[in-house]
Amino acid sequence: MVRMTAHAYALADGNTIPAIGLGTYGLNDQSGVDAIASAIHDGYRLIDTAYNYGNEEVVAEAIRRADVDRSDLFVTTKLPGRHHGVDETLASFEQSRKRLDLDWVDLYLIHWPNPKRDRYVDSWRSMIKLKERGVVRSIGVSNFTPAMLDRLSAETGLMPVVNQVELHPYFPQAELRAYHAEHAIRTESWSPLAKRTELLAEPVIVEIAERHGSTPAQVVLAWHLALGAVPIPKSADAERRRENLDVFDLELEAGEVEAISGLERGRIWGADPDTHEEM
Ligand SMILES: NC(=O)C1=CN([C@@H]2O[C@H](COP(=O)(O)OP(=O)(O)OC[C@H]3O[C@@H](n4cnc5c(N)ncnc54)[C@H](OP(=O)(O)O)[C@@H]3O)[C@@H](O)[C@H]2O)C=CC1
Ligand SMILES: O=C(O)C(=O)[C@@H](O)C(O)C(=O)CO
């Protein structure tokens, strides 16, 4: 069931996640600070970064510049693959927190499971500690399969409240979303616009956009909202960021959602969580 109030969802741990966020991969240096600060000014409240993006300090500077209460922001960062392990996770988190210049992080994710290394359960135990200490509000994972999620729950007794996965009309992930719904896991969509590629020129999307007087990107983001997934589009351009946020009045018909899901063809760059090892 999709529970959304005031453009946000309740998570299984009682916290609240905004219904849309800003992806920041590639937003670096001063232009990154300007872009993220202007996004916050324009109404973005969820900021998605990662240790591996090398821009946690850029996010920190943008937050310092923004005229928004810290408690109104929802900052996500992620644990890199090379830091999996009990002590490594605690140390890595502290580095991220310091770079972000925050007392707490709203959502901390294991970036990739790295199954060959097989230390993600250890990392998860440390993330549970970080949550207990109050330096992280919600803990989740990224790129996890149902088998990996089952294992986390079986071995620690705690299921992640979010799984951030590749999700866009070329890769709608119906089975994984059904598993999430059964286990009260909120789905977050990475590369929600399929990194732009040719998705936004697909006739079915262009036609629906024309029918609603919207843009193709808005139609794709409305599709994510219709699925109850949290998209985190990245844009370096202020106009496009505002366009991406202005989607809550666009309601797609069930048939339109189905037609967009019909574009399914697979992952865009082939990173399979069962084999990909993130550094
Ligand atoms: N957990 C994980 O493993 C992963 C997480 N992520 C997260 O997801 C975020 C988003 O994914 P990302 O890969 O960046 O791809 P997106 O699907 O968000 O697409 C970004 C591309 O779309 C363009 N774009 C954005 N808005 C519009 C628009 N309205 N009209 C036309 N083009 C547009 C951008 O160009 P421009 O900037 O010029 O506007 C950019 O080229 C990342 O930034 C990151 O935070 C991404 C990959 C993996
Ligand atoms: O999170 C991202 O934006 C990514 O692209 C990651 O998946 C990533 O940095 C990676 O997997 C590179 O191997």
Residue nearest to ligand 1 atom 32, measured at CA: 196
One-letter amino acid at 66 equals A
Q: Establish if 279 belongs to a structural domain.
A: no
**Which tokens in the block code for residue 105?**
């992080």
Q: How far apart are CA 27 and CA 34, in angstroms?
A: 9
What pLDDT score does 196 carry?
83
Quote the Cα angle for 69-73-74, to 5°: 155
Q: Establish if 206 belongs to a structural domain.
A: no
Q: Establish if 71 belongs to a structural domain.
A: yes
Task: Give the domain range for residue 60.
Answer: 8-192+229-234
Which conformational region is residue 25 in: left (phi greater than 0), alpha (psi within -120 to 50 degrees), or beta? Answer: beta
* DSSP labels, 86-141: HHHHHHHHHHHHHHHT-S-EEEEEES---TTT--HHHHHHHHHHHHHHTSEEEEEE
Cα 164 to Cα 43, 64, 92, 278: the distances in Å are: 22, 26, 20, 15
Please give the number of the atom of ligand 1 that sits closest to the Cα of 244: 29
What pLDDT score does 260 carry?
98
Q: Establish if 126 belongs to a structural domain.
A: yes
**pLDDT tens digits, residue range 173-196?**
999 999 999 999 999 999 999 998
Q: Could you tell me the pTM of the whole model?
A: 0.97
Q: Establish if 173 belongs to a structural domain.
A: yes
Q: Is the CB–ligand 2 distance for residue 166 below 6 Å?
A: no
Calculate how far, in angstroms, residue 164's C-alpha sits from the geometric centre of ligand 2. Answer: 12
**Which tokens in the block code for residue 30?**
């001063």
Give the pocket of ligand 1 (CB within 6 Å).
23-25, 48, 111, 142-143, 164, 190-196, 200, 217, 232-237, 240, 243-244
- Domain tally for the chain? 1
Query: Which residues sit in the known binding site for substrate?
Result: 111
Residue 203 parent element (H or E): helix 203-212
Q: Is the ipTM of this complex over 0.90?
A: yes
Calculate how far, in angstroms, residue 151's C-alpha sits from the geometric centre of ligand 1. Answer: 30
The CATH number linked to 132 is 3.20.20.100
Q: Establish if 219 belongs to a structural domain.
A: no
Q: How far apart are CA 108 and CA 221, in angstroms?
A: 24
Q: Establish if 197 belongs to a structural domain.
A: no
Q: Establish if 154 belongs to a structural domain.
A: yes
Residue 78 parent element (H or E): strand 74-79
How many CA atoms does the CB half-sphere of 40 hold within 13 Å? Answer: 25
For the chain of 279 residues, list the mean pLDDT of each consecutive stretch of 10.
71 98 98 98 98 98 95 98 98 98 99 98 98 98 98 98 98 98 98 94 98 98 98 98 97 98 94 96
**Which tokens in the block code for residue 254?**
């069930």
Neighbour tally for 145: CB within 10 Å: 17
